[in-house]
Chains A and B, each alone.
Chain A
Amino acid sequence: MAITLEKVTKRYAGTTIVDRVSLEVQTGELFVLLGASGSGKSTILRLISGLLPPDEGAIRLGGRDVTMLPPQKRDVGFVFQNYSIFRHMTVAQNIEFGLRIRGVPASERAVRREELLDLVGLGGLGSRYWSQLSGGQLQRVALARALAYRPAVLLLDEPFGALDVKIRAQLRQNLKQIQKTLGVTTILVTHDQEEGFELGQRIGVIERGRLLEVGAPEDLYAHPRSLFAATFLGAGTILVGRCRGERVELGPLTLPIPPDVPHDEGDRVRVLFRPEQVSLSADPPPPSAAVLGRGELLEESFSGSFRRVRLRLPALPGTRQLSPALPYGENALLIEAAVPADGRPIPAQAWVALENWHILRQPTPRLLVADSGDASDPALAIARPFVEALDGVATVVGIASGSSGQDELRETLGRRAREAGLDTASVRARAGDPAEQLALEQSEAPYDFLLLGDTEPALRSGKRRAAGLAEELAEGVATPILLARGAAQLPRKILICTAVGEPGKADVRAGGWLARRLGATVTLLHVSLEGRTPTPLVRAHLDRGIETLRELEVKGRATVRQAEDAIEGILAELETEAHDLVVVGGPVRGSRAPFLRGGGDSVTRQVLRRCPCSVLVVPEGSW
């Protein structure tokens, strides 16, 4: 009997635990829901079984809409993580319970019970009590009990969680066998990817209540679509390169981008390679190979048929590493490889080449909307058009000064988000210093944009204005920060303030990308000090910026202004032309660009403080 979920959503105290999950499990299929603890996978099982009612969406079992039915009427078998064997009943009584409830005569019950005891391999143990059984036996009793009344659907919630590793492997095979024999449609929930690979005909990966992707184990392993699936389903290295034409650049290496991965020029593209897709050699590989570089052996560990190896390679220009995570301050690449354990020594210095790789789909832009709680917060008001224009997802975060009232805050946030039209937004409630908490939230679940609104008071607890908060964040967070001001309208005219000597930098790319998605026009502004003519360098720099924009298919023009200092020039430009978004780089410290520092204050800070329109701060390395 097929199981169908249609946009099933479950919220609890304002938090969305299961978020619009749609899924179809075929009749007789063994489907595995895989996710970290707290990802909502067990909740999905409870929703299917009827132990919890969904807030939205529909659940069908074999075409029958059971969304509103109590668990008793759903005809499901459920095996709990703790098995919940009835302690005052014998094994036999436990197994027969479902039949007794259904009024099956004793003789029939006995036949079925013996059948099941044999099926799960507990023949002869029918008269035992709970306390006389091992963990593995209990699990089998729970399974037999759930199967006794021939349910159409079998649901297993981490059935191996409480067992030791050795028994686990054996019971997995048993379960697979039983499921195959009975052909009962089964969903198994686990956090163990190995278990998922072994059991699942298909696997669904859950993260934060969302079903990220579904596929056969091999497929998910080799060709994950999402970053989470890529990292959750096994070891491997993920590098971020830049898109040039139809290829992605990883330093000197370029790899073709498959046609089914939509990409824009200059986009960041993520390349995944599994340890076994990496080949190591002491001698330089042939030029036809996809060589990443030469690295030194950091560590190796023996794991049966393979040796796991970690190498350090010099950093590649224009390339960033996402996984495995780099230690702080490390300016290199860490590559994981698996080498056959055939006794051959691994060279201390080895050439690293890729035998195969996978290019991940472009991610959905993720917006973090910081809600100040103010009735007229432009951040919330503008979030919805932004999300729609970028085809992204939003998370609304609120920060309380104290840890009390989190539930209440969550509820308020949920309500406000819905009022702002962000029906599908997740909600996060945090407590503490706003800048710190926002930085933490960003590091826990990377976002592409941080959206702040400039109102008074800025954030729930903070007396600080949002501009100050944005400044503080720009120094610590590697994410573009959008400070929304004024009317809740998407920017039509974007002004990008560039600086000499930094061609094609993050601010131009980020501003250009945004302009493309929003359909806005871009003006590149260079301010030179009064009485000085722009050097050829400035011209060349602006030309490259225009070039970058053209590659992004954005219309742009360059303009040069003379002013007392940078901020005066920017303000003068804003007065003559009705730009509604100013893009600046992050605060620059030190002496690298003395020009940008006016009157002891960075241009970024000045722009944030004095520009009347919205501001996008693009910290270095964030785009």
Chain B
Amino acid sequence: MASPSAPRARGVWPVLLLGGLLLWAAWPWLPISRAAAPPATIVFYGFSILGDTMEQGIFPAFQKAWAAQGGTPVEFLSSFGGSGTVTNQVIMGVPAELVLLSLESDADRLADAGVVPARSWRALPHEGVVNRTPFVILVRPGNPKGIHDFADLARPGIGVVHPDPLTSGGAQWAIVAEYGAGARAAGGDPAAGERLLAGIWKNVVAQASSARAARTQFENGFGDALITYEQEALWDQARGRLRAEIVYPRRTILSEHTLVRVDHRIGPKERAAADAFTRFLWSEEAQKIFVTHGFRSVEEQWNAGNPAFGRIEEPFSIADYGGWAKAKKDIVDGVWKDRVMKVRPKP
């Protein structure tokens, strides 16, 4: 008679454990634990380096400001990834309401896919550009390889960590920066631009899916140099976590980050909050938060607020190459993809 009861006694243990686990997992959803849910949510998708800035700076600030205006409480649901990845996700149908992309050509892709009307973001302030940041070079502490400009990255023996242009907006900015720096140094010679681009890409030892991921790789010890947003480096420096040196190239590009509103996804309940949030992004408060977090404001006047911003001798912008539609065709596809990658020797 003992045998049938024995397995039962042994079975209590796992059942208790599983039950406890289930209870804990389901706790937030149980009616007894449920706090009053915010009635409105804004689903925000952003490119990788925005993560901390939005979650720690912009969202809380807006929630406070919005509450002060007497708006209903609003909750942000956000996801951050490579600009290309985010664009793809939005095209596939993720419920994004506001999308902050690293570059305008990703916005164009959204328009091409029919997610938003073409160029609808141009109606926003500053043609949809929320903030900027120049492309810089990160090197190991003490700059052991003596890297001072893009040209140094093309030297033999230098290992470069680069985000992947297929999924990362930052990578595309970096390509235009490298090409532009080369061409401008030679008085605007496209051949010189292509030479520098090819020289740097010969040295690429690791490609990551986003600018953020590329930096994680660099931090984990890959390569001698990382081409990335200035903001990335400054934000870490501000928190004392930067274990690298920033090298400001003489000539580099200032990236411009575009906000796209997926209007048909914004429900009537959220519209007021979404509109207010859109306006808020270009407000003094938000722009100053961006500056604190290492982004350069679209209003030059606020940029003095961050003394860490480095000086760039000859900055240029995408407009210098005819905007992203043309630059993507001419430089990213025309030079990098069709020429540089074709001749790139196998490692």
Interface size class on chain A is: under 10
Residue B35 lies at the interface, judged by CB distance under 8 Å to chain A: no
**Residues on the A chain within 8 Å of B1, using CB:** 127
1/0 contact trace for A82-115 toward B, CB 8 Å?
0000000010000000000000000000000000
Chain B residues with CB below 8 A from A127, complex form:
1, 3-4
Which residues of chain B from 1 to 33 have a CB within 8 Å of any chain A CB?
A: 1, 3-4
A90 to B3, CA, bound (A): 10
| Chain B interface residue number, banded | under 10
A129 interfacial contact with B, CB 8 Å: yes
Query: In whole angstroms, what is the CA distance A129 to B4 when docked?
Result: 9
221-279 of chain A: CB within 8 A of chain B = none
CA distance A379 to B4 in the complex (A): 68
Contacts of A129 in B (CB 8 A): 3
Interface code B221-261, partner A: CB below 8 Å = 1, 0 otherwise? 00000000000000000000000000000000000000000
Complex CA distance for A315 and B4, rounded to whole angstroms: 71
In the complex, chain B residues whose CB is within 8 Å of the CB of A90: 4
- Which residue of chain A has the shortest Cβ distance to B3 in the bound complex? A129
Of chain A, the residue at the smallest CB distance from B2 is A127
Interface set, chain B 175-193, CB cutoff 8 A to A: none
Residues of A within 8 A of B4 (CB): 90, 127
**Of all chain A residues, which has the CB nearest B4?**
A90
Instruction: Please give me the residue from chain A that is nearest to B1 by CB atom.
Output: A127
Smallest distance from the beta carbon of B22 to chain A beta carbons, Å? 26
Please name all residues of chain A whose beta carbon is closer than 8 Å to the beta carbon of B3 when the two chains form the complex.
127, 129
Within 8 A of B (CB), among A55-100: 90
Distance of A20 from chain B, by nearest CB (Å): 50
A62 to B: closest C-beta gap in Å: 39
CB distance from B11 to the nearest CB of A (A): 14
Would you list which residues of chain B between 310 and 326 have a CB under 8 Å from chain A?
Answer: none
| Residue of B whose beta carbon sits closest to that of A129 | B3
**In the complex, what distance in Å separates the CA atom of A127 from the CA atom of B1?**
6
- Chain B nearest CB, measured from A83 CB (Å): 21
Cα of A79 to Cα of B4 in the assembled complex, Å: 26
A227 nearest CB across to chain B (Å): 56
Contact flags A106-148 to B (C-beta < 8 A → 1, else 0): 0000000000000000000001010000000000000000000
Q: Roughly how many angstroms separate A85 CA and B291 CA in the complex, as a whole number?
A: 79
Q: Which residue of B lies closest to A126 (CB)?
A: B1
Min CB gap B124→A, angstroms? 69
Closest Cβ–Cβ distance, residue A93 to chain B (whole Å): 9
Docked Cα-Cα span, A127 to B4, in Å, equals 9
Distance, CA A127 to CA B2, complexed state (A): 9
Distance, CA A368 to CA B186, complexed state (A): 104
A153 to B258, CA, bound (A): 85
State the Cβ distance, A89 to closest chain B Cβ, in Å: 10
Taken together as a complex, chains A and B put the C-alpha atoms of A90 and B1 apart, in Å, by: 10
A129 to B7, CA, bound (A): 14
- Closest chain-B Cβ to A90's Cβ sits at a distance in Å of 7
Q: How far is the CA of A238 from the CA of B88 in the complex (A)?
A: 91
- Bound together, the chains give a CA A236 to CA B4 distance in angstroms of 56
A132 to chain B, nearest CB (A): 9
**Closest CB in chain B relative to A152 CB, distance in Å:** 33
A85 CB → nearest B CB, Å:
16
Query: What is the CA–CA distance of A127 and B3 in the complex, to the nearest angstrom?
Result: 9
B112 to chain A, nearest CB (A): 58
Minimum Cβ distance to chain A for residue B8 (Å): 13
Chain B stretch 72-111: residues in CB contact (< 8 A) with chain A = none
Within the complex, what minimum Cβ distance (angstroms) separates A67 from chain B?
42
Q: Shortest beta-carbon distance, A78 to chain B, in Å? A: 27
Distance (Å) between the CB of B229 and the closest chain A CB? 65
Looking across the interface, which residue of chain B has its beta carbon closest to that of A88?
A: B4
Bound state CA distance, A440 and B325, in angstroms? 86
**Chain A 579-591 interface mask (CB, 8 Å, partner B; 1/0):** 0000000000000
CB distance from B75 to the nearest CB of A (A): 51
5 A-B residue contacts at CB 8 Å? A90-B4, A127-B1, A127-B3, A127-B4, A129-B3
Contacts from A to B (Cβ < 8 Å): 90, 127, 129
CB-based closest 3 A-B pairs: A127-B1, A90-B4, A129-B3
